[in-house]
Each structure stands twice: as structure tokens, then as C-alpha cells.
Amino acid sequence: MQLNYNKLDERFIDELNKKISKVEDTIEELLKIKNKTYDNFFDVMEHLLDDIEKYSFPLQIEISTNITDLGKKTYEEYIPIMNEFSSKLSQNEEVAKSIIKIYETEDLNDVRKRILEKQILSFKSSGIGLDQESKEKIKSINLELAKLGNDFSQNVTDATNEYELIIEDEKVLSEFSELDKKSAEIEDGKWKFTLHGPSLTTFLKYCNDRTLREQLYKASATKAPQNEELIEKILSLRDEKAKILGYENYRELSIASKTASNALEVIDFLTELGKEALPKATEEIEELKAFAKEKLGYEDLEIYDYSYLSRKLKEIKYNFDPSEVKPYFEKNKVVSGMFQFLDNIFNLKAKQINDAKLWNDKALVFELERNGVLLGNLIMDLETNENKRGGAWADSWITSYTKDGVRVPATGIIVCNFPPSKDGVPSLLDHSDVVTLFHEMGHALHLITSKTKDISASGFNGTEWDVVEYPSQWLQEFANNKEIIKTFGIHYETGEVISDELIEKMLDSLNYGQGYGNNRQVEFGLFDLMIYDDTYSKEQVQEKLDEVRNMVSVIKTPSYNKFQCSFSHIFAGGYGAGYYSYKWAEVLSADSYTEMTKNNKIDKELANNFFDNLLSLGGSVNMKESFVNVHKRQPDPKALLKLTGIL
Ligand SMILES: [Zn+2]
């Protein structure tokens, strides 16, 4: 299968504008059809939109994977054009009416019914069906919210960029690795630390000076205090919007498009999860307190001590240094080991293609086929370079669909920031990198193996936000499976297979702190739901946060902490009343994984049942219902607690 990647060029925006006006003209023409059907109206429209997405793929690459100046410049022009286009379409009464009529009159199969129900719900959220005044109101609230969200994250970014801590006393860095020290060094004898994620976490983990740890922690926890005002406005506008749209409050509006039934169900779920993990979390903190007292003479444990102390305790308790496993995880071996595993269990074969021309010569391309049928292409751009955004992600280039009985294969990409191979030393991964690779592969499988005929429910399309991480977190669990690790854990110089003892040490140390970590996530998730049942002032928002902390937190948070002011996920990103999704999906993935690997043996039959009746159904069904279909029972939150060693 040929891949045709064309770099972005200067004409991109002109072409985009032409394409958009052509789409708008075509939609006008489609609206004239007398007997509109799913096929002659909705499906045609969806493919037009998909074409624009495919056309924009090089731009997506050039703002994330292979960042270019042209990409950045083009993106600034692209965003308002696309916002205008999609907001016009989502408020188009004629289009909405036509789709509602198709839904009400045509004899549709379940998948198409589901697709249209989601579409109608999304029209409803844009104000379709309301009187003109309310529609205008929704439009202006959306604009205002977009601006507030933007200001919120800009304030966080500015505050993050403004602060720096300069260290001149090398002694306080004595526990740092040479590499970490080097990347913080600004001149001879001076090191700079900032509030950016990697710098902050490294400092809190390795700096042996308690006062300095508090200094940096405090700077981070008091960032962007002006955002408190914005939170108040955001909450009030979200509430107003939800009520105009006929919802009780914003959290019900948010959850209406997810697999959870309502906010109370999620609050119960999180509360229970927090309660169940509380004894373990408390036990972990007690152990840490005793350790801190014995080794360092600390009378009490503060939140800014947690990373430092837990790292030290782990090193002593498990005698495990994460860099020990690195020589065993050579990137190419891990990739082929992962494919070997997928082949053994699912008969899924990956064949490397060598002649594809892409944005990066180091990117690997594979054709995936199962039981002899080609499913699609997978592009892996795994090594870090200076033109790449940080983190890891999976994305779609081509989403599959079936037309006239012929399936168009999918193409997906996985992007990571693994250490680069250099001077004869291959790319060697941390165990957490291996987990990341499996995680992204889970997303890629969800996309590429999709057998859904309709493009609107194929791959990621139509998948509810709170279960998107189900396939990825499910596959990532296999990266913690001893037998699987042994298949690719081969020393890059000696060829020796990683020992059982080293794997066990590594996995035991991974489980340390899970109770505490679980309850931190529960705290964020609960807070993100409890601020919507009324309109709260900034003081009341703080009270809500304190209330949640009293329920699930095991370390006292200092009163100066204004964490909410940098919680961009929920106030500036798409996670408003949806932060729970991480834990929600994790319960499903942990439960599926556990049952599939009972008695230390992979149950191939169940695994393939999962593959055929859940993973490869894309967004055509509610994955929480698919869970019940595959496992013949409801998911059990205890599976997650057991898998992470909490219970
Ligand atoms: Zn993910």
C-alpha cells in the first residue's frame, strides 16, 4: 500500500479555503435532495469533512511531530478558519433538521442509529432547536468561554516561564544524575530550575535540601493566582450554557456525551475508589514518615517531601535503579518483541515497508495484517529530536471505511520521544518508555483494526471520551507482564536475557506509591465534578477542594496551595467534568487484562474475543457495553485496585 506524504507548502491556506467553500457549496446542493437518506446525504457530508481532515494531516505533523516555521505560521491562520467553518455547520438548522428526519424515518441499523444520535446530541449542544435569542446567547457564551480558557492557560504558561531558581551550591544537587545535572547547568557552577514539568519533578525528586524543595513547590502551587477570578467566570458561564440547553448543570451536559449515565454515578464510583485505596495510601505515608524520621530526623512529612522521600525509600527497599534495565530495552528489539506478542496472541502480523517517503527518515513503517487480510499501515516515529513536541501520542492519518464492499485500509501514527540512537549506541529505553510504546500501540490498534463500515464510527470516531483510553491502557498492561518482557528484554551488548529477579524488583518498585497516586487522581476527578452542582464563588471553590481533600487525601496540603489555578485540563482543556475518564477507563482495562491473564497464562480465546468484539469495533458501540458483552458481567473496580497492588 502506497503512502503519499506531501510536505506543507505556502499554498496550504488558499487550497483549504477553496476546499471549504467547495464543501459548503456541496452541502447546499445536498440540501436540495428531496429524499435524503443516510447514504445520499449524511455519509456524503461526513466524507467531505474527512477529506478536509486528511488534507490537514501534513499541518498536524508540522506543528507537533516535525515542527516547522511554516507549520506554526500556517496553524495560526488555520485555527480561526476551521472554527468559523465548524461553528457555522454545527448551527446549520437545515442540516440538523435533515439529519433528524433521516433518523426518524429511515430504517437504520444500530450503528447508524448510534452515529446519528450522537450527531443530534452535538447539534443540541450547539443550540439547534432553540429560539434565535438563546442560540445567539450560546454562541456568545462559547466565544467567551474560549477566550477565558485561552487566558487561563496563557496565565499558567506565563507564570511557568517567569520563574527560575538558580542554584550555586553544588552540594544540594549531590543526588542528581550527571545527565540531569548537565541539562540544568547554565554556566560553570550555576544550575537553573524552572516550573516546567521535567525540571520541577526532577528537582523535587533529587534535591536533598528541604527548604529549596519547598521554595520550588510553593512557586508552582501558587502559580497564576489571577486565575481564581477566571474560574468563577468559567463556572458561571458553563452553568448558564447548560441551563439554556436544558440540562440541570454543566456536569450533566458534559456526561451526556460519555458512557457514564450521570454525574452521581461517577461521584459514587470515585468516592468508592478513594475509600478502598485509603488504607493502603495511609499505610504508604506512615511508612514514609517513619523512614523520614529515621533517616533524616524529620518530625513530619510535608507534601514537597513526597517525591524525594519516596524515591529514596524505593531505592533502599527494592534496591532497584531504573537505569539498570535500560541496556535490556533496545528500541528495535522492543518493537519487534511487541509485534511478536501481537502475532502470537492475535495472529496479527507486521511487515516492515522500506521505501515509504515520510517527514523523517528514521520513522518506521509497517503493514499490519490479520489472518491474511491487510488492515492498514502503522507509522512509528519514535526517537526524540529538536523539532518534535514533547510527550507521546497516537493519531490517525487515514480512517478506514467500507464502500461497495471494499474496505479502505487505515493509516495510523505513533509518535514518541525515545532517546536517539547515536554513535553506534542504539536507542535504549526506560521501562516507562516501553509502557508508553504499548500504550500508544493500543490506540493505534483501535484505529487500524477497525472493521466498522461507516467512517463516522470507525477507529476513534464516535468513541466516547471516557473510554478512549481503554484500549491503550489495556495493551500497556502487557508491558508489565514478566513473560512478555522476557521476549524482548535482551541486553544489547551481551545478548543476555533480563533475569526474573531484575524484572520482579522493577515491578515491585512500580507498585510502590499506588495508593497515594490513586487518591491524588481521585481527588482531581472528584473536585472536577463537585464544583458544578451550584454556581460557586472562588472561596466556595476552595472549600469544595478542601472538602474533597479531607475525604481522600493522605498528606496535608499547605493552605497557600492554589492548585486549581493551574488545572488547565479542566478549565482550559477539554476535560471539564471529564477528568474522571482516566480512572473510569482504567477500571475497564485493568479488569479485561486481569481476566485475560489469569493463572499467569494468556487466555487466547478471551483475548481474541476482546479483539473481535470490542477493540476492532472502533466507535460503533459503547465500549462499556462491549465489556459486558465480552466478559459476560459488569466491570469491577476492585480489579484495578488488585492489579496495582492496592488491595
Ligand atoms: Zn492515551
Answer with the residue of higher pLDDT: 574 or 270. 270
Distance CA 58, CA 463 (A): 24
1 has pLDDT over 80: no
439 CA distance to ligand 1 middle (Å): 6
187 is catalytic: no
Distances (CA, A) of 487 to 333, 335, 430: 9, 11, 16
Cα dist from 30 to 22, 92, 99, whole Å: 12, 13, 12
What percentage of residues in the chain have a pLDDT greater than 90? 93
Asked if the model's pLDDT at residue 425 lies above 90, the reply is: no
Rounded CA separation 439/281 (Å): 26
**What is the Å distance from ligand 1's center to 435 Cα?**
11
How far apart (Å, rounded) are the C-alpha atoms in residues 343 and 337?
Answer: 10
**513 Cα: distance to centroid of ligand 1 (angstroms):** 22
Q: State the distance from the centre of ligand 1 to the C-alpha of 299, rounded, in angstroms.
A: 40
pLDDT digits (tens, 9 = 90+) for 532-557: 999 999 999 999 999 999 999 999 99
Element (H, E) at 611: helix 604-613
Give the burial string for 27-57 (b: 16+ CB within 10 Å, else e).
Answer: beebeeeeebebeebbbbbbebbbebeeebb
DSSP-assigned letters across all residues of 293-316? HHHH--SS--GGGHHHHHHHHHHH
- Per domain, the residue ranges of the chain are 12-129, 137-155+228-300+513-647, 164-221, 326-497
Q: State mean pLDDT over 619-635.
A: 98
Contact (CB, 8 A) for 571 and 152: yes
Give the residue-averaged pLDDT of 272-277. Answer: 97
Look up cell 497516537; give the residue.
Answer: 394
Whether residue 464 is predicted with pLDDT greater than 70 in this model: the reply is: yes
For range 354-373, the mean pLDDT: 93
CATH superfamily of 12-129: Endopeptidase. Chain P; domain 1 (1.20.1050.40)
Pairing of strands 401-403, 373-383: unpaired
**Does residue 452 surpass a pLDDT of 70?**
yes
- CA 47, CA 349: separation in Å to the nearest integer? 29
For the CA atoms of 592, 593, 599, 605, the dihedral, rounded to the nearest 10 degrees, stands at: 70
- Determine the distance separating the centroid of ligand 1 and the alpha carbon of 393, expressed in angstroms: 7
Query: 257 with 121: CB under 8 angstroms?
Result: yes
Q: How far is the CA of 472 from the centre of ligand 1 (A)?
A: 6
The angle, 0 to 180 degrees and rounded to 10, between the axes of the packed helices 263-296 and 306-318 is 70
Q: What does the pLDDT read at residue 406?
A: 96
Window from 231-240, 281-290, 330-339, 418-427 with minimum mean pLDDT: 418-427
DSSP state of 106: S
Residues 90-132 have pLDDT tens digits of 999 999 999 999 999 999 999 999 999 999 999 999 999 999 9
Q: Please, what is the end-to-end C-alpha distance for the chain in angstroms?
A: 48
Per-residue model confidence as pLDDT tens digits over 166-190 = 999 999 999 998 888 988 999 999 9
Confidence band, pLDDT 50/70/90 cuts, at residue 283: very high
CA of 582 to the centre of ligand 1 (A): 9
> Any idea which residue has 461526513 for its cell?
46
Closest by CA to 231, choosing from 522, 531, 530, 526, is 531
Give 321's pLDDT tier (boundaries 50, 70, 90): confident
- pLDDT, one tens digit per residue, over 381-401 is 999 998 999 899 999 999 999
**pLDDT tens sequence across 188-212:** 999 999 999 889 999 999 999 999 9
| pLDDT band at residue 421 using 50, 70 and 90 as cut-offs | confident
CA 308 vs CA 194, 201, 204, 305, 325: distances in Å: 17, 10, 6, 5, 21
In this structure, what C-alpha cell is assigned to residue 524? 482531581
DSSP one-letter string for 89-114? HHT-HHHHHHHHHHHHHS---HHHHH
**Cell numbers describing residue 151:** 487566558
Dmax (CA) for the chain in angstroms is: 81
The CA 470 to ligand 1 mean position distance, Å, reads: 8
* Mean pLDDT, residues 55-59 taken together: 97
Written as one letter, the residue type at 125 is: S
Of the candidates 330, 440, 464, 477, the residue annotated as catalytic is: 440
**What amino acid is encoded at 539 in this protein?**
E
- CA–CA separation, 400 and 413 (whole Å): 14
C-alpha cell recorded at residue 276: 478502598
Q: What are the two backbone dihedrals, phi and then psi, of residue 164, each rounded to the nearest 5 degrees?
A: -150, 150
Ligand 1: centre distance to CA 453 (Å): 24
User: Which residues lie closer than 8 Å to 349 by C-beta, 6 or more apart?
Assistant: 339, 343, 368, 369, 370
The whole-number average pLDDT for the span 547-569 is: 96
For the segment 148-166, the average pLDDT, to the nearest whole number, is 94
Q: Which pLDDT score, from 0 to 100, does residue 3 have?
A: 84
Please state, rounded to an integer, the average pLDDT across all residues of the chain. 96
Strands laid side by side in the 393-398 sheet: 348-353, 364-370, 373-383, 410-418, 393-398
| pTM across the whole model | 0.95
C-alpha cell at 325: 534495565
Q: Give the Å distance between the CA of 503 and the centre of ligand 1.
A: 24
pLDDT the model gives residue 183? 86
Average pLDDT, integer, range 496-504: 97
Enumerate the β-bridge partners of residue 369. Answer: 349, 374
C-alpha cell at 297: 530526623
| pLDDT (mean) for 35-50 | 98
Which class would CATH give 137-155+228-300+513-647? mainly alpha
Q: Tell me the per-residue pLDDT of 206-247, one tens digit each, with 9 for 90 and over.
A: 999 999 999 999 999 999 999 999 999 999 999 999 999 999
- How many angstroms is it from 154 CA to the middle of ligand 1? 25
Beta carbons of 23 and 49 less than 8 angstroms apart? yes
Provide Rg for the chain, Cα atoms.
26
Task: Give per-residue burial for 407-430: e unless 16+ CB within 10 Å, then b.
Answer: bebbbbbbbbbbbeeeeeebbbbe
Q: Output the CA 88–ligand 1 centroid distance in Å.
A: 30
Other C-beta atoms within 10 Å of 25: how many? 10
Asked if residue 127 lies in contact with residue 134, where contact means CB atoms within 8 angstroms, the answer is yes
CATH topology identical between 12-129 and 137-155+228-300+513-647:
no
pLDDT of amino acid 424: 84
Q: Which CATH class is domain 326-497?
A: mainly alpha
CA distance 582 to 562: 23
Distance between Cα 443 and ligand 1 center (Å)? 7
Beta bridge partners of 200: none
pLDDT at 301 over 90: yes
Dist. CA 363–CA 131, nearest whole Å: 52
Residue 289: strand, helix, or coil: helix
506-519 tens-digit pLDDT: 999 999 999 999 99
Could you tell me which residues are beta bridge partners of residue 374?
369
